[in-house]
Chain A
Amino acid sequence: MAEVPEHLLKRSAERRKALGLPGGEGADDASAEAAAEAPTPAAEEAAPIAASVSDEGAITEDKGGVPAHLLERARKRKAVLAGEDPGATAGGGGVATATKVAPIAAPVGTGPGGHTQRLLTVVKSGSIQQTRAEAQDKVHTWPHLLVVEFAAALAMTATLLIFSAIVRAPLLGLADVNQTPNPSKAPWYFLGLQELLTMFHPMVAGVTIPGMGLFILMMAPYVDSNPSNKPNDRKFAISLFTLFLMFWSVLVIIGSFFRGAGFNFVFPWNDGIFFEL
Chain B
Amino acid sequence: MANGNGSNGNRNGGLKLGARAKEMGGKVGNSQVVTSIIRPGSIFRKGYTDSPRNRSYVIMNSVLYHLHPVKVKRHAVKVSYTLCLGGLSFFLFILLTVTGIFLMFFYRPTEAAAWSNVQQLETAVWFGSLVRNMHRWGAHLMVLTVFLHMSRVFYHGAYKAPREFNWVIGVVLLLLTLMLSFTGYLLPWDQLALWAVTVGTNMMGYTPVFGSQMRYALLGSKEISGDTLLRWYTLHVLLLPFVIVIFMAIHFWRVRKDGGISGPL
Q: A167-B133, A174-B189 are in contact. Are A140 and B52 (CB under 8 A)?
A: yes
| Chain A residues within 8 Å of B143, by CB | 189
Mark out the residues of chain A between 217 and 233 whose CB falls within 8 Å of any chain B CB in the assembled complex: 217-218, 220-222, 224, 226-231
Query: How far, in whole Å, are A156 and B192 apart by their CA atoms in the complex?
Result: 27
Q: Which residue of A lies closest to B83 (CB)?
A: A152
- Counting contact residues on chain B (CB < 8 A from A), the size range is 35 or more
| Chain B residues within 8 Å of A54, by CB | none
Flag B99-143 by CB within 8 Å of A: 1 or 0 each. 000000000000000010011001000000110111011101101
Closest-CB distance, A235 to chain B (whole angstroms): 12
Give the tally of cross-chain contacts (CB within 8 A): 201
Q: Is the CB of A276 within 8 A of B134?
A: no
| Chain A residues within 8 Å of B118, by CB | 171
Q: Is the CB of A180 within 8 A of B195?
A: yes
Q: Is the CB of A172 within 8 A of B171?
A: no
Q: A180-B195, A187-B200 are in contact. Are A139 and B168 (CB under 8 A)?
A: no
Residue in A145, A218, A229 whose CB lies within 8 Å of B68: A145
| Chain B residues within 8 Å of A205, by CB | 203
| Chain A residues within 8 Å of B134, by CB | 160-161, 164
Q: Which residue of A lies closest to B91 (CB)?
A: A153
Q: Which residue of A lies closest to B156 (CB)?
A: A229
**A206 interface contact, C-beta 8 A:** yes
Residue in A148, A175, A193 whose CB lies within 8 Å of B193: A175
Q: Which residue of B lies closest to A202 (CB)?
A: B206
Closest-CB distance, B157 to chain A (whole angstroms): 3
Q: Which residue of A lies closest to B114 (CB)?
A: A175
Q: Is the CB of A171 within 8 A of B119?
A: yes
**B69 interface contact, C-beta 8 A:** yes
Query: How far, in whole Å, are A172 and B196 apart by their CA atoms in the complex?
Result: 12
Query: How far, in whole Å, are A42 and B141 apart by their CA atoms in the complex?
Result: 61
Mark out the residues of chain B between 153 and 183 whose CB falls within 8 Å of any chain A CB in the assembled complex: 154-161, 163-164, 167-168, 171, 175, 178, 181-182
**B265 interface contact, C-beta 8 A:** yes
**A137 interface contact, C-beta 8 A:** yes
Q: Which residue of A lies closest to B158 (CB)?
A: A229
Mark out the residues of chain A between 129 and 156 whose CB falls within 8 Å of any chain B CB in the assembled complex: 136-146, 148-149, 152-153, 156
Q: Is the CB of B206 within 8 A of A149?
A: no
**A21 interface contact, C-beta 8 A:** no
Q: Chain A contact residues: over half helix, strand or loop, or mixed?
A: helix
**A63 interface contact, C-beta 8 A:** no
**B72 interface contact, C-beta 8 A:** yes
| Chain A residues within 8 Å of B91, by CB | 152-153, 156
Query: How far, in whole Å, are A229 and B262 apart by their CA atoms in the complex?
Result: 9
Q: Which residue of B lies closest to A147 (CB)?
A: B77
Q: Which residue of A lies closest to B168 (CB)?
A: A218
| Chain A residues within 8 Å of B211, by CB | 207
Query: How far, in whole Å, are A177 and B228 apart by their CA atoms in the complex?
Result: 13
Q: Is the CB of A168 within 8 A of B74?
A: no
Q: List, sorted by A's number, 7 A–B pairs whose CB atoms are closer than 8 Å.
A: A141-B59, A141-B68, A171-B118, A174-B190, A190-B200, A218-B171, A237-B157
Told that A149-B87, A241-B155 touch, could you supply 7 new A-B pairs with CB distance under 8 A?
A139-B72, A139-B74, A142-B58, A152-B87, A168-B133, A229-B157, A277-B140
Which residues from chain B sit less than 8 Å from chain A, CB to CB?
A: 43, 52, 55-56, 58-59, 64, 68-77, 79, 84, 87-88, 91-92, 95, 115, 118-119, 122, 129-130, 132-134, 136-138, 140-141, 143, 151, 154-161, 163-164, 167-168, 171, 175, 178, 181-182, 185, 188-196, 198-200, 202-204, 206-208, 211, 223-224, 262-263, 265
Which residues from chain A sit less than 8 Å from chain B, CB to CB?
A: 136-146, 148-149, 152-153, 156-157, 160-161, 163-165, 167-177, 179-181, 184-190, 193-194, 197, 202-203, 205-207, 214, 217-218, 220-222, 224, 226-231, 234, 237-238, 241, 245, 276-277
